[in-house]
Amino acid sequence: MKIGFIGMGIMGKPMAINLVKAGYDVMVSNRNMEKCQPAVEAGAKAGSYTELAENCDVIITMLPNGPQVKEVILGEGAVAAHMKPGSVLIDMSSINPVDSKEIAAALAAYGVEMLDAPVSGGEPKAIDGTLSVMAGGKQEVFDKYKEMLGAMASSVVRCGEVGAGNTTKLANQIIVACNIQALAEAMTLAQKAGVDPQLVFEAIRGGLAGSTVMNAKAPMMIAGNDKPGFKIDLHIKDLNNALDCAHAVGSPVPMTASVQEVMQWMHSHEGGQKDHSAIAQYYEYLTGIQIGR
């Protein structure tokens, strides 16, 4: 199986490297080809989008949003036009499920199948290969590529037909964002009340309030570490997609709208490239105190 991987960003690069480590024949590409170098050093080959499409059995994309996926796959010099009938696109980007369905329909005209398979876990889990993959597409296509996806993830679950993967990812991003905001509020309350946020974290992490989000993000908030594992601007993009999808299907999402406004404030105050845990800095702005410091 020859795998083409397009998108060597924070997530795509380690994911492609893990495929190489698992023994797969991988060819990588990126708009800025210099970003392919770490994967090449790990054993991948590099090539143009067209070279990947013509030579690979499966193309994986890990791009910022739906418009970028559409441009690469269906735009001028489209990858789709060069893919072999019977090959498969696995889009691991986090995009609007409506876009996933449109791309799948266009690919069908070329005899190409598609899975939408976004991931959760951020850069740390992309590096150690323990991402969670939520996939949408035909059962037989999913079954064929599940083992390969497992080289990048500890959990690979089919959620339904094309579009279901990204719908599940939107649900995931709502839960993560609301957890981060609640955590920032709680740690700010502790600090304002004169209780050490580190001790609060240690006391409650094993109870019902404990979560993967808390374990990952509380230490960052307390240390003032806003180095991005997942950038606020990317979470804004995901929540915009969640709001669009919710409005389309008539689902109420007031909490999502609230945390989106906090993240948008951060974007407007030079925080868009920071880790999403940096929304704690919004509360620092309101209160004049810094969590844990």
> Hey, which residues are catalytic here?
169
CA separation for the pair 35, 48 (Å, rounded): 13
Helices (H), the chain: 12-21, 37-42, 49-55, 66-74, 97-108, 122-128, 139-149, 164-192, 197-204, 212-223, 232-249, 254-268, 280-287
Q: Is 163 helix (H, G, I), strand (E, B) or coil?
A: coil
DSSP for 73-129, please give it: HHSTT-SGGGSPTT-EEEE-S---HHHHHHHHHHHHTTT-EEEE--EESHHHHHHHT
CA separation for the pair 67, 8 (Å, rounded): 17
